[in-house]
Structure 1
């Protein structure tokens, strides 16, 4: 907060760009920031999340709503007029120095990509005003908001919540105040502000790191089908957020700037977000103690996972005595857990089987940013070992296998390209090869990988100076020499093996399971290609796949992947991969199987490629 106050003293308008966890965020955040002396915020609202009555009230209170006509085509007079009015409003707002709050994530429960098209439209208007010289600069402040229990969370997680009405919003606020005063269970919310930065400074620095990108179809499809084995030395191009009228009105370079700026800010917001006790509890119950756990052991695991979060530089949104924290988290999750009392006085906590596990899986994604590098690395190692030793084999057998650094990088790159960018949230300036280096470093730091010493003069665990191609070279900190004396083949020839420490098997499986819901949904989507009814519209095929996921979940008991958002993510990934192709139809665009994946053999290769990363 001190940095934000210092940035406000400079005189540039403050633009707060926030995550979006609840429909009440637009009401709560202005009060929180006003209480900290940052003035009255103007909030850019999504009209779809508000009832007409609430929309009229918020507009009178200073809320901003983008006209629906602003999304019309560029040659539409109504669209041009609406965009001009919205742009003039933003310019006047910036000239007056009033702070503005924009949500960069879609409303909670909304189907579609994570990045909000509306949020990018508002940010594009701000960028346009600065580029036109209306105002010299603005200060961008990433904001993260986290709840241990989202106030408007629907009972049915498969459907988006209804638009927030005037009375429902007031009742929700009063109900939470009543909870705070002790008449009901207390719910905690944490708001975090990341490092403010200048838009002009970001614009100057960002353009220098824009490189060429290729589609997922060109990067991954030849490897899936076995046509080649090497991954091209380029980045993945994947944009799921639709481009609306306000962005189309910008130049191509400015549109790219807004997209990458949005991802950069969302990355900073998520990295600074607090992890709540319910997210830690849901993760433990779903991925570590699926069949139940004694409360005494759950206390120890809760403490362990909290320490792991703090060691990775992530904040937690709770404090107090350990037993009270665990009891509080269980009380908030009581609809999804079963408590069994033993004769010895201890309790056994069992996650309630059924579709409610989807709720626990969604809560567990709050921990994924802290463990994402290790989870990607663990799944990549799992894929390497899948063809060598039985997945259920003893850990000692896994530890015998040597894993070369070249193989590890290759496998991590394959998984990185498969995973959606909305999940990874890599910074636009961070290359996939640099991320591979980070993954390997994390696996060594957490003790899962042990370097196999060779006869080389350099220790095998020295990962500071190596490169993957002629374009990339990692050097020790402070070494700016232009020497090319490093032996590339030597660096790529280094080997590692899995550690034989007693804690490693459980931690390795835990990391792999963090990505299991998504990867399992992708694998089931590949299996569904044999029986899906195509051609069909995108929404129709997503509905088909979701019903198949529900049926499969009933059979194997892993309900956490029966999520409509995962079904949609799988369909979009397969479309990018060239498995599904989009063709025009009488009722709109139709999805059909591409010729490359029309055969049973190609579909089997795709499913096998995905299942190598899936942990049981």
Structure 2
């Protein structure tokens, strides 16, 4: 058998030889894969109807379904001219009035750290260079015209635009401003992270519209330097919003940085915007969730040791040249820029507070159940804020800090929900979750089409279309460094994921598919937890289908898993109750055919909703109010039972769903097993490194080890009360809590986690 590499463009005899590999052995006609269900493609990105009903209605473009895409890198030079856009729109200074010369000089010094007036000639030159770079590196940069229409409509309302984006690549901060500039929205000011840029690069980015927080802004509230810096930053943001220039804030941490998903710096900027709106300086601000998806991210995540190293001008130029040299003449990857429906910050602030209910820590919710000291789950939501408050955000009131954090989760949920699933993510998911040992290409073609259709059925868009064989060929050519293609007898090809770093790369790509199947994956793992104590894990599917699962048991098991999984993964909307999500999970399991109602064990059919007794509480309870206990409202759930469906496709689909969450859950289980081996007390970073090395030593050949999962395990165990953070002269250090000091309690924790894992 010889290994074959696939290329999309055939420019030589080698390309013709590879084409013969594809054409041999496939005599059947393959259908085209299109991102449509029926006549229309699924629309994604509607704002929350609970928190922003007026925006949901007024800012939606009625004919969005009829509008197609435009390729941004096909714009002409006239699309990026900016002289008229800049006239009269540059923000002013930090304030007026008579101040001492020394104070004025200090204010100008701090203001120089934050921003600089954009230079039209430099903007045009840089836009031209970036356009050439994108044309050399990417096949297309797609933008939905209907989404752009909604943003234009929101901009015409008169309120400043604040775009809140995910952060997949360092290219994002240049790509989004270029896209919006080419679409006539004006010069976008970008809130950059100073840690990512050298001083020379910061100077250039400020001239292109970049904003940076000065170092003094992170000093304590009692520091006079910090107070002055925060005052200047606040005034600069006021002038920026008053001038009407759009602002881009990244809500996620830098690519490659380990730790919580939400960016403390992004929340600091968002907190400043919220302060300006609440103070009445501007009546409102329109928030636009943004997401960027790549076939392949152009800059791979940096090593842990170099994650905090700033990017310099020469380093960046060298990286660009290397990318051009590597990709010259073989543009293959595509980018999709997503702009979700804008919504009013003022409207969200008013409505969101009414949805806030009581919350408890993960330790209060789960620890008694894990240790066998209780069985009842408290009827409250989980409080899990994985973002340290820094600098300007600390100057907010506690209630406003909570508002900013929950708004960030809300927007991040909207951004992820509007992201298209790329073909590389579909392929990586199939190879990791269904065919880790390899799969024949003839079978892979059909499963690629199946997973694409299942993704569309769940309301998620996909970032590709075309003939199935060409799509799979193109996708495998993009993944050629991580996938081996072996020619076998009868002209077929065997597709095998490469071990080691290749598996880790595929795992990161497959994470883009998880949001589309997250509800079903949670439900499948919860069902596995229920069956784990009744049926041996290796028992046949028919034997497992005999077991009756009551609705109340399913609710309880889903709740346990929801509390265990980190908020960074779930991205639940803060206005959504956990009990509502439990019902959504159960509905999804029924809709996808995994669960069927058992009518014989209930006095009336489970689908008979017409005769359900509504309690008095439900009759008067306002919509969205989940502060009271809902346990009494599920009394009738005791009489509803379900079985696993016996359809032939169900066992494979059930295993596929469970494997979507297996990497995280297996890491948590391994972290529980490591508790008695770890050297404690230790710093958080030190113990995380200990755990990561343990995971690498114990990983099997087909398993990938992701350092970010190790970080999630340590943070979750800290919230659960397994690890305690104790002060010391050298700084905070982790140690085992007394509740989990014994081997018995550690084994209980491991067993609790492993019940959700399906091998």
1:19-98 equivalent positions in 2, closer than 5 A = 19-98=166-245
Name the counterpart of 2:739.
Answer: 596
1:331-361 CA-partner distances (Å, limit 9, x unpaired): 2211211111012111100011224311111
1:450-469 equivalent positions in 2, closer than 5 A = 450-454=596-600, 458-461=604-607
Q: Measure the CA separation in 1 of the matches of 2:409 and 2:393.
A: 15
Residue 569 in structure 1 maps to residue 712 in structure 2: yes
Q: Per the alignment, do residues 455 and 380 of structure 1 end up closer, same or farther by CA in structure 2, a change over 3 Å counting?
A: closer
Which of 575, 588, 595 in structure 2 is aligned with 1:442? Answer: 588
Q: Measure the CA separation in 1 of the matches of 2:447 and 2:495.
A: 13
Which of 362, 375, 380 in structure 1 is aligned with 2:526? Answer: 380
Aligned-partner SS, 1:141: strand
Q: Per the alignment, do residues 148 and 156 of structure 1 end up closer, same or farther by CA in structure 2, a change over 3 Å counting?
A: farther
Q: Per the alignment, do residues 608 and 464 of structure 1 end up closer, same or farther by CA in structure 2, a change over 3 Å counting?
A: farther
Runs of 5+ in structure 1 lacking a partner? 478-483
Aligned-partner SS, 2:466: coil
Q: Measure the CA separation in 2 of the matches of 1:382 and 1:473.
A: 35
How far off its partner does 1:108 sit? 1.0
Given that residues 727 and 733 in structure 2 are in contact (C-alpha distance below 8 angstroms), is that contact kept between their aligned partners in structure 1?
yes
How far off its partner does 1:160 sit? 3.6
Name the counterpart of 2:279.
Answer: 132
Q: Per the alignment, do residues 60 and 384 of structure 1 end up closer, same or farther by CA in structure 2, a change over 3 Å counting?
A: same
How far off its partner does 1:467 sit? 10
Name the counterpart of 1:368.
Answer: 514
Q: Per the alignment, do residues 179 and 19 of structure 1 end up closer, same or farther by CA in structure 2, a change over 3 Å counting?
A: same
Residue 518 in structure 1 maps to residue 664 in structure 2: yes
Range moving further from structure 2, 65-74 or 40-49:
65-74
Name the counterpart of 1:414.
Answer: 560
Name the counterpart of 2:473.
Answer: 327
Which of 393, 414, 417 in structure 1 is aligned with 2:539? Answer: 393
Residue 149 in structure 1 maps to residue 293 in structure 2: no
Residue 215 in structure 1 maps to residue 358 in structure 2: no
Q: Per the alignment, do residues 608 and 470 of structure 1 end up closer, same or farther by CA in structure 2, a change over 3 Å counting?
A: farther
Bigger CA radius of gyration: 2
1:447-500 CA-partner distances (Å, limit 9, x unpaired): 00000014756421457998999977899x9xxxxxx9x985333220000000
1:141-220 equivalent positions in 2, closer than 5 A = 141-154=288-301, 160=307, 163-170=310-317, 172=319, 183-220=329-366
Q: Measure the CA separation in 1 of the matches of 2:443 and 2:389.
A: 49
Q: Per the alignment, do residues 353 and 467 of structure 1 end up closer, same or farther by CA in structure 2, a change over 3 Å counting?
A: farther
How far off its partner does 1:162 sit? 5.1
Name the counterpart of 1:280.
Answer: 426
Aligned-partner SS, 2:505: helix
Name the counterpart of 1:480.
Answer: none
Aligned-partner SS, 2:677: coil
1:272-308 CA-partner distances (Å, limit 9, x unpaired): 0011111111110011001100011111111100111
Given that residues 151 and 172 in structure 1 are in contact (C-alpha distance below 8 angstroms), is that contact kept between their aligned partners in structure 2?
no
Runs of 5+ in structure 2 lacking a partner? 1-147, 624-629
Which of 575, 578, 586 in structure 1 is aligned with 2:721? Answer: 578
Range moving further from structure 2, 501-510 or 457-466:
457-466
Residue 305 in structure 1 maps to residue 451 in structure 2: yes
Name the counterpart of 2:165.
Answer: 18
Name the counterpart of 1:240.
Answer: 386
Q: CA RMSD in A?
A: 2.3
Q: Per the alignment, do residues 471 and 294 of structure 1 end up closer, same or farther by CA in structure 2, a change over 3 Å counting?
A: farther
How far off its partner does 1:62 sit? 2.0
Q: Per the alignment, do residues 408 and 116 of structure 1 end up closer, same or farther by CA in structure 2, a change over 3 Å counting?
A: same
Q: Measure the CA separation in 2 of the matches of 1:448 and 1:214.
A: 33
Aligned-partner SS, 2:512: coil
Aligned-partner SS, 2:234: helix
Given that residues 601 and 639 in structure 2 are in contact (C-alpha distance below 8 angstroms), is that contact kept between their aligned partners in structure 1?
no
Given that residues 295 and 346 in structure 1 are in contact (C-alpha distance below 8 angstroms), is that contact kept between their aligned partners in structure 2?
yes
Range moving further from structure 2, 324-333 or 85-94:
324-333
Count of residue pairs the alignment pairs up: 604
1:229-262 CA-partner distances (Å, limit 9, x unpaired): 1111001001111101211101111111101100
Name the counterpart of 2:460.
Answer: 314
